[in-house]
Chain A
Amino acid sequence: DGGITQSPKYLFRKEGQNVTLSCEQNLNHDAMYWYRQDPGQGLRLIYYSQIVNDFQKGDIAEGYSVSREKKESFPLTVTSAQKNPTAFYLCASSIDPPGLRNNEQFFGPGTRLTVL
């Protein structure tokens, strides 16, 4: 089955801890994205990557870090510097790079992070 997987589905973090959210895709997509969704708000872009070993900050990158060592994987680390990390985190990928018009993005199932 082709698709995007995210793990874990639910994650609980204590104050001061770093946590890493996993995102894997077997769609052979070049571009991958991380979004954050808060209740009543649209998705906000955290980071995106167009190719391996390259990534760009989105609108709300502070307190987050990413890596793109493999085409299939784009993990997101939520650091202790992120003051309000409780949210629904969504990973997406697209076959076309962000600069092209037909930038249809497909989402994984999401990780719900709660700070205790």
Chain B
Amino acid sequence: QKEVEQNSGPLSVPEGAIASLNCTYSDRGSQSFFWYRQYSGKSPELIMSIYSNGDKEDGRFTAQLNKASQYVSLLIRDSQPSDSATYLCAVKETSYDKVIFGPGTSLSVIP
């Protein structure tokens, strides 16, 4: 079973700061990477998908992918208290018809 690893946190940042969430994966051939946000007691919500090396920006969110280092990250600029949630990294592996989810990083944005 391939693995997806994330720091469990909690990660605390002040309001307005940049939050940086990191994820590493074990399958070098992985091609698709997803970030989900999950509020406490709720289901995951897809916020970003990235497939190519480099950066992908969507509003205050930037996903960064480095396949050589098997590393994907999510940056949240101008963090807001409403960003406080658990962020799940998910990786689609080449040899499986499924997506592997990491355990999630808990983010707390302090007003």
Q: How many residues of B contact A (CB 8 A)?
A: 23
Q: How many A-B residue pairs have CB under 8 A?
A: 55
- Looking across the interface, which residue of chain A has its beta carbon closest to that of B36? A107
Residues of chain B whose beta carbon lies under 8 Å from any beta carbon of chain A = 1, 4, 8, 31-32, 34, 42-46, 49, 51, 88, 92, 97-104
Residues of chain A whose beta carbon lies under 8 Å from any beta carbon of chain B = 33, 35, 40-45, 48, 50, 56, 58-59, 90, 97-99, 101-110
Known: A107-B44, A110-B42. A42 touches B51 (CB 8 A): no
A14–chain B nearest beta-carbon distance, Å: 24
Known: A42-B4, A45-B98. A101 touches B51 (CB 8 A): yes
- Looking across the interface, which residue of chain B has its beta carbon closest to that of A106? B46
A36 to B88, CA, bound (A): 14
Q: Does B51 contact A102, Cβ atoms closer than 8 Å? A: yes
- Looking across the interface, which residue of chain A has its beta carbon closest to that of B8? A40
